[in-house]
Structure 1
Amino acid sequence: MTDSAFSSDVEAISSIDAVPMILSMVKHLTGMRFAAVARVTDKNWVACAVDDSINFGLKPGGELVLESTICHEIRQHQQPVIFGQASTHPVFSQHHTPKTYGLESYISIPIVKANGEFFGTLCAIDSVPANLDEPAIAKTLTLFAQLIAINLDTQKRLEATKVELNNANELGRLREQFIAVLGHDLRTPLSAIRMSADLLETRTEEKRSLNLIAAIRNSSTRMGVLIENILDFARGRLGGGIPVQRVLVDDLQQTLQQTLAEVQASHPLAIFESTLNLPAGVHCDALRISQLLSNLLGNAVTHGSTATPIVLKAYAQNDEIVISLTNQGVPIPAALMPLLFEPFSRSEAGQRGEGLGLGLYIASQIATAHNGTLQVSSTLDAGTCFVARFPARFKWA
């Protein structure tokens, strides 16, 4: 029996339901009593399927010495070999294979895959002569060999698809575990830090200690934003996008005003101007829109000029909600513009600043999840302006 190196080939042929019928048809067409599918390499001849009525002695997995077979030569020239009576044949009457195995009739057709790889042969043998002169015999066996090759190619594609599917399922399982573990393992110690800061604040009035506690609280707030950004990045890139739950919201304007107030409190040196005029009944995820605005505001504070105001406008226009944010300062470099809404784009473009460079990516993903867009323009005269648009249903009073 052959070793495990060829067990997959034997299994592949045995899994082709048509092979037993093909071998039976080969015997019927040729009148020969032994038919087989053989795997032929540069070192081995292995029977993968056998239909034996002469007790030749081969079973699936059985081997012949490669050099003792004609298939060794067929593997090199990849042409059929056919003779009906070896003892009178001008070439094969002196060939070692018929003499070794006592053969009179022989037919062997190469099995070649679509990529040109030689798999082996479809062959038939007998110890008595056979009439193999009819051209239809060779043509029919060639079609049988092609059918086997097609099935082998199909099997390979199916196996590759199964592997990809299994990998995708495993990746999905690991993705969910990663997001869950990331959220728990990062949020839990951060909550402990915040609670500790609150507790310390109630137990001291010393100014230096209060300043340190405030620094801890501000740092934990920034850390919280980073954690949420990382989680959203994981959901967006490893999952099906950042999830949103769109409902009819009557107080989006109030939500955006509160978001602006929180950023103002965290950045007392920044100057803000806002004009908010939004209707009730906006179809959106208010918390996600708040996050979008918070990320845009944070970006403007970090990269804009502190000497000029950051201008926020939010309004309805042609059945859309428009949120625009403009700041002055150094224009965004042209090299960075194509990367601006990609994750970690700041480091890729050689920019330096706080954060991981996820804020604009997440803002863009939130706009996309609302069937909207986030666009940017940046010039020295007009400043840098981000404009988010998304469709909304209105419930006018």
Structure 2
Amino acid sequence: MEDLDDLYENAPCGYVSLSADGVIVKVNRTLAGWLGTQSFELLGKRFYDLLNVPGKIFYETHFAPLLRMQGYFNEVALDLVGPDGRKLPVLANAAERRSSDGGVQFTRITLFQAADRRRYERDLVDAKNAADRARRELADLNRTLEERIDAGIAERLQLEQGLLAEKEVARLREQFVAILGHDLRNPLASISGGLNILSREPQTDKARRVLTMMSQSTERMSSLIRDMLDLARCRAGQGIAINPNPTDLRAVLEQVVHELQTAHPGRDIQSSLDIEIEVRCDGGRVAQLVSNLLGNALAHGAPDRPVTVVAASALNEILITVANEGKPIPKHVKDHLFEPFFRVTSSAEKQGLGLGLFISYEIARSHGGRLEVHSDDNHTAFLFRMPV
């Protein structure tokens, strides 16, 4: 037969009975064991004293009032504190025993350990908080993704508009090249031909001077148009067009030196042209490159010092150097020398579009070579390397 005393004392839950004023009058061995004490040590204490600080506040504001109003409550979470200060999470069910006149005789409380349940509840709360964070992060990610998509679409539209604009610029560039090639060069050729015819007829001294000046201006305009055509082709990605053929490069360079010496009779141009073999190149373009470099050296070098042109064949390449003495080229200038429309000086006597070195650089590239510049306090030298 079931032993009721043993069932009470060793029940799988804690039992505690309180007097009307909340003093513990009976407690089972199970609850005392949970708290690490003996049952008799709990008798005479107030149940209120077994609670931690938050539990005491809850007891005064919810626990006791709820009992007074309805006489019972179920599954209220409390934290008991044992003599050693260890906290014991429990779930409490309570019911009052009242007299016929409604007065409280005693209160019975049943306690169940709730550590696992509290842990589970905390895990649920943590999981809910994590889910909320993930939801917010997902919303932020979606918003960021939408913003990036919008930005990508805007950038794509901008790129497409830029591509259309670039195509339009390319079309206008081609028209510009056509204008230079036809509408300007052809009338200029007619003017040049007319000047040649007039120069063969008897003229007064004044008329001959005027014709010479007009011929020089025509030649200068023709040179500027050639430079602009070359620039337009380079901008269009075509590069400088060349027609390589076996060339007596020494003779080409001698002609360039002779022309520049004739144009500058008061200057000392010294040349050493040690090229005995024919070189496969575009002789006209190489002559244009060297003429640009030599003209540049005469324009910017010390007027009382010689300008040198040295050409030699080395292992698998031709080296052509044009050097002058005078002030060195500043570094900030040297970094931009081969850019179009860049001019070292703006003085009136050194006119030009600033395309000479740019075109020379592109001619070197078209021959598979390169154009370098070295400048110090002693001299400035432009070196053209061309593979053979």
- 1:384 maps to what in 2? 380
For residues 64-93 of structure 1, what are the alpha-carbon distances to aligned partners after superposition, in whole Å with 9 as ceiling and x for unaligned? xxxxxxxxxxxxxxxxxxxxxxxxxxxxxx
Q: Hey, what's the Cα distance between the residues in 2 that align with 1:195 and 1:279?
A: 37
Aligned AA for 1:308? R
Residue 361 of structure 2 contacts residue 370 of structure 2 at CA under 8 Å; is this kept in 1?
A: yes
SS of residue in 2 equivalent to 1:377? strand
- 1:232 maps to what in 2? 230
Residue 376 of structure 1 contacts residue 385 of structure 1 at CA under 8 Å; is this kept in 2?
A: yes
Shift of 1:334: 4.6
Residue 247 of structure 2 contacts residue 280 of structure 2 at CA under 8 Å; is this kept in 1?
A: no
Question: 1:323 and 1:199, CA in 2 relative to 1: closer, same or farther beyond 3 A?
Answer: same
SS of residue in 2 equivalent to 1:345? coil
- 1:264 maps to what in 2? 261
Aligned AA for 2:383? V
For residues 230-258 of structure 1, what are the alpha-carbon distances to aligned partners after superposition, in whole Å with 9 as ceiling and x for unaligned? 2222222x211532335342322222222
SS of residue in 2 equivalent to 1:226? helix
Q: Hey, what's the Cα distance between the residues in 1 that align with 2:175 and 2:208?
A: 39
CA RMSD of aligned residues (A): 3.4
Q: Hey, what's the Cα distance between the residues in 1 that align with 2:374 and 2:348?
A: 18
Q: Give yes or no for the alignment of 1:372 onto 2:372.
A: no
Shift of 1:319: 1.1
- 1:16 maps to what in 2? none
TM-score norm. by structure 2 comes to 0.57
Q: Hey, what's the Cα distance between the residues in 2 that align with 1:358 and 1:144?
A: 53
Residue 284 of structure 1 contacts residue 370 of structure 1 at CA under 8 Å; is this kept in 2?
A: yes
Q: Hey, what's the Cα distance between the residues in 1 that align with 2:299 and 2:369?
A: 25
Aligned AA for 2:285? R
Question: 1:272 and 1:151, CA in 2 relative to 1: closer, same or farther beyond 3 A?
Answer: closer
- 1:186 maps to what in 2? 184
Shift of 1:332: 3.1
Q: Give yes or no for the alignment of 1:222 onto 2:197.
A: no
Q: Hey, what's the Cα distance between the residues in 2 that align with 1:253 and 1:138?
A: 79
- 1:123 maps to what in 2? none
Shift of 1:177: 0.9
Residue 371 of structure 2 contacts residue 382 of structure 2 at CA under 8 Å; is this kept in 1?
A: yes
Residue 372 of structure 1 contacts residue 389 of structure 1 at CA under 8 Å; is this kept in 2?
A: yes
State the percentage of identical aligned residues: 36
Aligned AA for 1:176? E
Structure 1 unpaired stretches of 5+: 1-135, 393-397
- 2:249 maps to what in 1? 252
Residue 373 of structure 1 contacts residue 390 of structure 1 at CA under 8 Å; is this kept in 2?
A: yes
Structure 2 unpaired stretches of 5+: 1-133
Shift of 1:148: 7.1
TM-score norm. by structure 1 comes to 0.56
RCO comparison, higher one (Cα < 8 Å, 6+): 1
Q: Give yes or no for the alignment of 1:313 onto 2:310.
A: yes
Shift of 1:163: 2.0
Aligned residues: 258
Question: 1:139 and 1:221, CA in 2 relative to 1: closer, same or farther beyond 3 A?
Answer: closer
Aligned AA for 2:163? L
Shift of 1:158: 3.6
Higher Rg: 2
Shift of 1:280: 3.6
Question: 1:335 and 1:152, CA in 2 relative to 1: closer, same or farther beyond 3 A?
Answer: closer
Question: 1:139 and 1:378, CA in 2 relative to 1: closer, same or farther beyond 3 A?
Answer: closer
